[in-house]
Amino acid sequence: MDFRDTAAEASFRAQLREWYQANFDPSSVPAAGRPDADHLRAWSRTLFDAGYVGLTWPKEYGGSGLSPSYQAIYFEEMVRAQAPEHIGIIGLNMAGPTIIAWGTDAQKARYLPKLLSGEEIWCQGFSEPGSGSDLAGARTRAVLDGDHWVVNGQKVWSSYAHLADWCILVVRTDPDAGKHAGLSYLLVDMHAPGVEVRPLKQITGDPEFNEIFFTDVRVPKDSILGKPGDGWKVAMTTLLHERGTMAFALVAQLRQHFTRLVELSRQPAPDGSIPADDPVVRDAIAREWIELQSLAFTNYRTLTTLLTKGQPGPESSVVKLVWSEANQRLTKLARSLQGLSGMLDDKGGVWDGYWQYRQLRSRGNTIEAGTSEILRNIVAERVLGLPRSR
């Protein structure tokens, strides 16, 4: 892996950096880092109009057809500018690549353009109350009735479902088949009759996760990806991209947090001391920098696999696992540097409670996109080649 930009990549980086300077004002994002949905939709459209959305997607589907290395550069410069992400991260990184891989020409033409522009937001309907991380244990049913699938069941932990227009939904269409063989994969209109979203307010106060209830929801027969019974294979395509391409975004986010941690450490504490003058604090910050670099280089390994094989390898599971625990540790360190004021909320905390919010939100990192326990099994079996534990 050559860590230097090629001439073309260097030119892209310079143009992107210049574009951010001309088009993005960091003060437009609230101090605590929580822009609202309308702001994110508008910003996502700005990114799309500038040609910075879908960089690695094939040109025939509205992308730029660039190498994954350009996406990595994009995330690096996004962090440097302290800019927010596109609102449709689930669509861009999960639904879109899955539709490209499995969708019909009609499905690609219908869904991909509005997904790229941010006009339509997607959510994921995989987890269920009774199955957790066991996707093959899904019990939400879809029964064919003429030209429609009739869907009944419940999903949970669906990020952005309260904002979403569409859902990638794993359902059981053949209850008599084996666990994996009886699944199918539907594209479901979240505004259809019978779809009910119940936001789950998190410890941050935000309703980012949701429950989704499906009661006799009629989904057009042609809204299936692949054939009936292909659901497990289609879902594996989704998860490969969730734990692969999104790893670049995770490490970019951690780098942004680290930059702000260093900035915080150089500011006077309430007692007038400078946290960075304390060697113990410097050691703790150094540990986080080392962890960040190890994640970045692991991402380069993933990038190499993407460039040579066309899809991410199991290294992405390592990144997600280590990132989630590193982010929890880093945000806890940042709050501790504030002394007693670290216990205050956005009405009195440093930077309007930026670190308080970030630490509370980080508690979900070791659960979402695969729990740490599941990821350790993946790493043990697929990376280290250890015997199956179950």
Count CB atoms within 10 A of the CB of residue 280: 8
| Per-residue pLDDT of the chain in tens (390 residues, 90 and over written 9) | 667 889 999 999 999 999 999 999 887 776 555 667 888 899 999 999 999 999 989 999 999 999 888 988 998 898 888 888 899 989 998 999 999 999 999 999 999 999 999 999 999 999 999 876 678 889 999 999 999 999 999 999 898 899 999 999 999 999 999 889 999 999 999 999 999 999 998 888 888 889 999 999 999 999 999 999 999 999 998 887 765 556 777 888 899 899 999 999 999 887 788 999 999 999 999 999 999 999 988 888 877 777 777 666 677 788 889 999 999 999 999 999 988 777 776 556 677 788 988 999 999 899 887 788 888 988 888 778 888 866
Residue type, 61: Y
Q: How many CA atoms lie within 13 A of 174 on its CB side?
A: 16
Instruction: Tell me whether residue 238 is in a domain.
Output: no
The alpha carbon dihedral of 332, 333, 339, 341 has a sign of: negative
CA–CA gap between residue 45 and residue 119 (Å, rounded): 8
Q: Which residues contact 44 (CB under 8 A, 6 or more apart)?
A: 53, 86, 87, 88, 117, 118
Let me know: does 58 contact 52? Beta carbons within 8 Å: no
Helix (H) or strand (E) holding 143: strand 141-145
Domain that holds residue 360: 243-383
CA–CA gap between residue 225 and residue 184 (Å, rounded): 8
Instruction: Tell me whether residue 110 is in a domain.
Output: no
Go through the chain and tell me how many residues it has.
Answer: 390
Q: Which residues contact 143 (CB under 8 A, 6 or more apart)?
A: 149, 150, 173
Q: Are residues 222 and 267 in the same domain?
A: no
Which residue in 242, 288, 291, 315 is the catalytic one?
242
Q: What stretches of 157-208 adopt beta strand conformation (E)?
A: 166-172, 183-189, 195-200
CATH number, domain at 41? 1.10.540.10
Reported as a single tens digit per residue, the pLDDT across 110-128 is 999 999 999 999 999 999 9
Instruction: Tell me whether residue 248 is in a domain.
Output: yes
Q: Are residues 274 and 347 in the same domain?
A: yes
Q: Which residues contact 233 (CB under 8 A, 6 or more apart)?
A: 226
CA–CA gap between residue 34 and residue 25 (Å, rounded): 15
CA–CA gap between residue 317 and residue 376 (Å, rounded): 8
> Based on the structure, what is the number of domains in the chain?
3
CA–CA gap between residue 369 and residue 327 (Å, rounded): 15
Q: Are residues 213 and 190 in the same domain?
A: yes
Q: Give yes or no: 242 in active site.
A: yes
Q: Are residues 182 and 267 in the same domain?
A: no
**Which of 182, 206, 229 represents a domain boundary (last residue)?**
229
Let me know: does 44 contact 86? Beta carbons within 8 Å: yes
- Could you give the 3-state DSSP secondary structure of residue 333? helix
Q: Which residues contact 92 (CB under 8 A, 6 or more apart)?
A: 53, 54, 86, 115, 116
CA–CA gap between residue 109 and residue 299 (Å, rounded): 32
Give Cα 214 to chain centroid, integer Å. Answer: 24
Q: How many helices (H) and strands (E) would you count in the chain?
A: 12, 7
Instruction: Tell me whether residue 222 is in a domain.
Output: yes
Q: Are residues 126 and 22 in the same domain?
A: no
CA–CA gap between residue 195 and residue 207 (Å, rounded): 17
Let me know: does 214 contact 140? Beta carbons within 8 Å: yes
18 phi and psi, to 5 degrees?
-65, -40
Reported as a single tens digit per residue, the pLDDT across 325-351 is 999 999 999 999 988 777 776 556 677
Q: Are residues 29 and 82 in the same domain?
A: yes
Count CB atoms within 10 A of the CB of residue 109: 12
CATH number, domain at 288? 1.20.140.10
Tell me what pLDDT residue 189 has.
98
Instruction: Tell me whether residue 237 is in a domain.
Output: no
Stated pTM of the model:
0.86
Locate 311 and state its tokens: 């899809």
